[in-house]
Structure 1
Amino acid sequence: MKTLQIKTAQNVNINFTLANVGQRLVAFLVDNLLKFAYIYFIIAVFDFNLFNDSLKGDQWSIKAIDVLVFLPITFYSLYSEILMNGQTIGKKLLKIRVINVDGFKPSTTDYIIRWFLRIVDFNLFSLIYIYMASLGLSSLYMLLMLIFIFGKLVGFVLILFTDKNQRFGDIIADTVVINTKDEAQFSETILEDIKEDYIPTYPNVVKLTDNDARIIKETFKVASKHNDYKTLIKLRSKIQEVTGIKSKHTTDKEFIDAILKDYNFYTQNM
């Protein structure tokens, strides 16, 4: 199994196991099965002949209905990965997830790039197939079929032969697909998943050390889980004593969570 080692800004090494081509292929097939099920359901439930009859001669309206019907499956992988934190239903079943090569959650732009470049990964040569088929080259039927099939395999060939098991969309978007079982390693470090537009509150948090941040996170995690407010109060007081920070938050949980995120923000951008 290939692995991806990430060295964080805090000099913490994390190893993620990369999803292999078999896992990604099965996830791909599951997702496409769902798409076909959707199409079958739409055709079975709705009488499209009725639409065609009522809109007879109005080709623009008919095309608009076609577009609306196919929108959910056209953008399926894009909105699924954005809403499900890097997973489609297929990826969730296979327990794999898309992350940034630095170990963080990809941005919306990264997801859009991955989705758009499926044209290259799965449909590049299929476009040639469509063009040749439109010319009516029936004598080249076998060649056309080979081009179509090969066009669907480009992404999987790249996954097989790239160092980080990346298809073209992954390479351009700086993303990889990992086994979710490795995410526990990430939560056990001092790292926090902060958004690109995150605005820090406490600059003095840089007075803490990596070891301080690790102790704070471990203590905060246990105290929050058990609603141990006495420990949270002590933790907040200790942070204020060491850093000289005065809390601007209404609860200790919000304050400590902000401290951890701010520490990550400043150490990642120094």
Structure 2
Amino acid sequence: MASIEIRTTQNVTIEYDAATLWERLIASLIDGIIVLAMYLLLSLLVISAGDSNLIEADEGWHMFLGLMPVAGFMLYNFLSEILNNGQTWGKKAMGVKVIRLDGKEAGLSDSLLRAVFYIVDGLLTIGILGSILIASTAKKQRLGDMTANTTVIKLKPNLRFGLEDILRINTLDNYEPQYPGVRQYSEQDMLFIKNVLSRYRKHPNAAHRQVINELVARIQQQLALPQIPADKPEFLKILIRDYIVLTR
């Protein structure tokens, strides 16, 4: 499973699971079906309301019918991503969404660029160009993503490993837990703590240090500890050890 590191404007690096090519293709297929259904319904309404003989003879109407699905697909994607925080109905069904590479939500201009470049990524190249770029680029971006500085991520992280993979359990047989209150946390909570700790060790800057400080302060309150531990990274590591011993 590919992951994407995104550095926010606060210089904090966040790791996301990238949406796979198949997830994005299926999302686009769902969106295409929705747009096609809307197109057919609208066409039937217009034809039923007008003179069918005049419509059939009107070349301008034929051109309109030919361009409407493309324009409709672009408009649908643009409005959906703006109104649903980076999600079309297809993306919502697949559990993925669009975000900017600075960690912010995609804005009006970002969604507009993404919609317009569907012409190149999808229509003119039958989806081949977009698929190749998504499969081969580091940030899993099609051309529309590159111009808008966006990518598509999974909303739910894929927990590819358990806590047992973080530490060697066989070294903890005689270990005495120091913080029994750690039982109140879930495995996903502990994986989050592990990821924060990993981010800090990989990028030990002021922004990540502040995240560590805030996380430890919150845990100190939840566990009702008399004071905040001095060595915060080591404290988090001990919490992970304690959780493994107490819940395995």
Q: What TM-score bracket applies, with the shorter chain setting the length?
A: 0.5 to 0.7
User: Paired residue for 1:5?
Assistant: 5
Deviations 1:199-220 (A, max 9, x none): xxxxxxxxxx9479948x979x
Q: Residues 54 and 24 from structure 1, CA distance in 2 versus in 1: closer, same or farther, beyond 3 angstroms?
A: same
Q: What is the aligned partner in structure 1 of residue 148 from structure 2? A: 173
Provide the rounded CA distance (Å) in 2 between the counterparts of 1:112 and 1:52. 35
Q: Which runs of 5+ in 2 are unaligned?
A: 158-187, 197-208, 223-248
Partner secondary structure for residue 113 of structure 2: helix
Provide, for residues 172-223 of structure 1, a one-character-per-residue CA deviation record: whole Å limited to 9, x for no partner: 11101000125x97xxx9xxxxxxxxxxxxxxxxxxx9479948x979xx9x
Residue equivalent to 2:105: 105
Amino acid at match of 2:14: I
Q: CA 1:69–1:110 in structure 2 vs 1: closer, same or farther (change >3 Å)?
A: closer
Structure 1: runs of 5+ lacking an equivalent:
126-150, 190-208, 223-270
**1:193 alignment counterpart:** none
In structure 2, do the counterparts of structure 1 residues 98 and 214 end up closer, same or farther at CA, with 3 Å as the change threshold? same
- Select between 154-163 and 36-45 the one with higher mean Cα deviation: 36-45
State the one-letter code of the partner of 1:5.
E
1: CA distance, partners of 2:76 / 2:22: 21
Seen in structure 2, the aligned counterparts of structure 1 residues 42 and 81 have a Cα distance that, compared at 3 Å, is same
Question: Residue 159 of structure 1 is aligned with which of 91, 109, 134?
Answer: 134
Offset at 1:118?
1.2
The 1-side partners of 2:47 and 2:114 are apart by 35
Other-structure match for 2:121: 121
Report if the CA contact (8 A) 1:2-1:164 is conserved: no
In the TM superposition, 1:33-182 aligns within 5 A as 33-47=33-47, 50-53=50-53, 62=61, 66=65, 72-125=72-125, 151-182=126-157
Per-residue deviation, 1:85: 0.6
Matched residues, number: 171
**Shift of residue 67 of structure 1?**
9.0
Q: How far 1:31 sits from its partner (Å)? A: 0.4
* C-alpha RMSD of matched pairs (Å): 3.8
Aligned residues of 1:156 and 1:167 also touching (Cα < 8 A): yes
- String of CA shifts for 1:86-113, please: whole Å, max 9, x gaps: 0100000001000001111122111111
The CA distance in 2 between the partners of 1:66 and 1:47, in whole Å, is: 11
Say if 2:47 and 2:55, in contact at 8 Å, map to a contact too: no
SS at structure 2 position matched to 1:156: helix
TM-score (norm 1): 0.52
SS of 1:82's partner is: helix
- The structural deviation recorded for 1:41 is 2.1
In the TM superposition, residue 66 of structure 1 has moved relative to its aligned partner by 4.9
Go from structure 1 to structure 2 and tell me whether the alpha carbon gap of 1:3 and 1:67 turns closer, same or farther (over 3 Å shift): same
Letter in 1 for 2:94: L
1:13-40 per-residue CA deviation (whole Å, 9 max, x = no partner) reads 3211000101001101100111121123
| Deviation of 1:123 (Å) | 2.3
Distance change >3 Å, CA 9–CA 57, structure 1 → 2? closer
User: Residues 104, 52 of structure 1: CA spacing in aligned structure 2 closer, same or farther, 3 A cutoff?
Assistant: same
Cα deviation, 1:105-150, whole Å, max 9, x if unaligned, reads 122111111111112111234xxxxxxxxxxxxxxxxxxxxxxxxx
Question: Could you tell me the percent identity over the aligned residues?
Answer: 31
Cα separation, 1, equivalents of 2:50 and 2:40: 17
